Amino acid sequence: MKAGKRGKVFLVGAGPGDPGLLTLKGLDCLRQADVVVYDRLLDDRILREVHPGAEKIYVGKSAQHHSLEQEEINRLLVKKAQQGKMVVRLKGGDPFVLGRGGEEAQALSEAGVSFEVVPGISAAVAVPAYAGIPVTHRHLASSFAVITGHKAVDHKDSDIAWDKLSTGVDTLVFLMAVENLAYVVDRLLENGRSSATPAAVIADGTSHRQRTVVGRLGDIVSQTRKADIQPPAVLVVGEVVRLREHLRWFDNCPLFGKRVLITRPKHQAGQFSQLLLKCGAVPVEIPVIQIRPSPVPAQLEQAILDLKNYHWVIFTSVNGVDAFFNQLGALDLDARWLHGLRLGAIGPSTARALESRGLRADCVPKKYTTPGLLAQLKQYGMAGSRVLLPRADIAGKQLASGLARMGAEVRDVIAYRTTPDSEGASQAKEMLSAGEIDIITFTSASTVTNLVAAVDKDIEMLNKAVIACIGPETASAAASAGLRVDIAAQKHTLPGLIEAMEQYFQRGEK
């Protein structure tokens, strides 16, 4: 797919909004591009796939402002390709469905520039689908038409055959319809479409901001104005709109549109964000803690060198695993150095961190808490065992004390330390003060401590949001700080926390 010395342009459809709707071929083009020329209304997560060395050029257009006119965009594509570069022209929806991709392809052809079209999923079908409206249905609609609502700006120049369109097609889908909604509706009514025909206007389709107004052709204009719907939006007219009541699946998720504050360290926030996005939530990544190397690295280094004198190494966090193996690597050692040792992990995430290094935990408790881990370890007969605990600088002594009571000889060493993230804390305070957060999530006691400190112990401010904790120890820290704990996950994992949040809102508690 790489362009040769002559360069090549790929007209790539990015889909209507949800970055998950970008095709595999489109993604492949993006990752190989030397230049990406992109529109407005594209999700930033799509642009993250562009390699750092690529040139990114914004050419977005709105009704009031064009950063570049279409002719200038055409010349830009030609110029970059003639420089021998692989150019991706990234367009919302599909390049050839009311996207002016045909004009760009013509300009490239006339200039003798090689090009390829990578179709995208059009908003014409994807946006109604995300609203629970199929554009065709065996019993309701066997045809549909896609029309631009924008063309109606200059009514005299409109070449839409309203007399044929209004009653000649079962389902009508108008893109870019909001600004001229009244004009479009009037033309349909004047040309025979019944005012009782179901209609829907869907704004920001396929995104977490999606809003849908349902009515009839006779009142959809007033309903849309009342709801203050702004572009971009799609108008759907036809009997299939009735099906939304039963087929709605995206914007009725319990967490849809909820702004969820993620307080965990930046390098660990991505997985949580992805899980939340799948539920329609809006993740807000503002870490309030940072993970730093141990202030006494020599202690962990010596403990690793002395591993042959231990029977167990027990990890209580993914960060502990990372810090331990970073030090192991610094000593020019690898997993073979742990030969003959038993390994413990407080939960599945920590166990997976070990598995990623080719090691399987011998002990993973059914309850992912310190008491649960102690109960599970007790079955191994810990009396006389020498145990190494690589831990955080702020970790409690409950695990070490519990093992000592079983007769184990325990050495706990600081493997890493947690420090406040001042920049994140300041941003979190600002958003919370403005009421821009619906749910605050805590995944450790340190995230509780640091967020409370960040807002100058304004507990009342924090309690305006729903407080969700990953497990009992974190919930206990939150309660001790004066927070109202609304949600404490029964399964002490990220999926378990999300499940608990969904159940909370399904019960309609807030």
| Same domain as 238, residue 194 | yes
Domain that holds residue 304: 292-419
Q: Tell me the CA distances in angstroms from 436 to 284, 423, 462, one per residue in order.
A: 10, 18, 11
- For residues 278-292, give the mean pLDDT: 89
Of 220, 247, 274, the position where a domain reaches its end is 247
Q: How far apart are CA 147 and CA 96, in angstroms?
A: 13
Q: How far apart are CA 447 and CA 291, in angstroms?
A: 12
| Same domain as 131, residue 216 | yes
SS3 23: coil
So what's the pLDDT on residue 4? Answer: 47
Residue 232 burial (CB count, 10 A): 22
Q: What is the band of 5 on the pLDDT scale with cuts at 50, 70, 90?
A: low
| Same domain as 44, residue 111 | yes
What tens digit of pLDDT does each residue of 412-441 get?
Answer: 999 999 888 877 778 888 899 899 999 999
- For residues 332-361, give the mean pLDDT: 95
Q: Tell me the CA distances in angstroms from 58 to 36, 42, 76, 89, 264, one per residue in order.
A: 8, 11, 11, 10, 33
Residue 71 burial (CB count, 10 A): 10
Is residue 176 annotated as a catalytic residue, yes or no?
yes
| Same domain as 29, residue 115 | yes
Beta-bridge partner residues of 214:
200
| Same domain as 313, residue 406 | yes
* 358 pLDDT above the threshold of 70: yes
For the chain, the distance separating the N- and C-terminal CA atoms, rounded to the nearest angstrom, is 51
Q: How far apart are CA 327 and CA 323, in angstroms?
A: 6
What tens digit of pLDDT does each residue of 15-68 get?
Answer: 998 999 999 999 999 999 999 999 887 888 899 999 999 999 999 866 555 568
**Residue 304: inside a domain, yes or no?**
yes
So what's the pLDDT on residue 426? Answer: 81
Phi, psi (deg, nearest 5) at residue 118 = -110, 100
Of 120, 140, 172, the position where a domain reaches its end is 120
| Same domain as 390, residue 305 | yes
* 153 pLDDT above the threshold of 70: no
R_g of the chain computed on alpha carbons: 29
Give the pair of three-digit tokens for residue 55.
Answer: 């040139």
Task: Give the active site residue among 18, 43, 91, 176.
Answer: 176
Task: Give the active site residue among 8, 18, 34, 39.
Answer: 39
* Rounded percentage of the chain residues whose pLDDT exceeds 90: 76
Of 97, 120, 143, the position where a domain reaches its end is 120
| Same domain as 237, residue 139 | yes
Residue 502 sits in a domain whose CATH number is 3.40.50.10090
SS3 489: coil
What tens digit of pLDDT does each residue of 368-408 get?
Answer: 889 999 999 999 999 999 999 999 888 889 999 999 999 99
| Same domain as 201, residue 152 | yes
Domain tally for the chain?
Answer: 4
**Residue 252: inside a domain, yes or no?**
no
pLDDT, mean over the chain: 92
**Residue 351: inside a domain, yes or no?**
yes
**Residue 2: inside a domain, yes or no?**
no
| Same domain as 426, residue 413 | no
So what's the pLDDT on residue 42? Answer: 80
Q: Which of 19-23, 252-256, 293-297 has the lowest mean pLDDT?
A: 293-297
So what's the pLDDT on residue 256? Answer: 94
So what's the pLDDT on residue 92? Answer: 92
Nearest alpha-carbon partner for 90 in 51, 40, 24: 40
What tens digit of pLDDT does each residue of 71-92 get?
Answer: 999 999 999 999 999 999 999 9
What tens digit of pLDDT does each residue of 494-506 get?
Answer: 999 999 999 999 9
Is residue 431 annotated as a catalytic residue, yes or no?
no
Residue 332 backbone class (left: φ over 0; alpha: ψ -120 to 50; beta: rest): left
Write the DSSP assignment of 142-210 as a string of letters.
S-EEEEESGGGGSGGG----HHHHHHH-SEEEEES-GGGHHHHHHHHHHTT--TTSEEEEEESTTSTT-
| Same domain as 372, residue 338 | yes
So what's the pLDDT on residue 62? Answer: 60
Task: Give the active site residue among 25, 61, 367, 491.
Answer: 61
Q: How far apart are CA 97 and CA 124, in angstroms?
A: 9
| Same domain as 414, residue 446 | no
Is residue 39 annotated as a catalytic residue, yes or no?
yes
| Same domain as 306, residue 284 | no
* 337 pLDDT above the threshold of 70: yes
* Rounded percentage of the chain residues whose pLDDT exceeds 70: 96
Q: Which residue has the higher pLDDT, 290 or 135?
A: 135
So what's the pLDDT on residue 418? Answer: 87
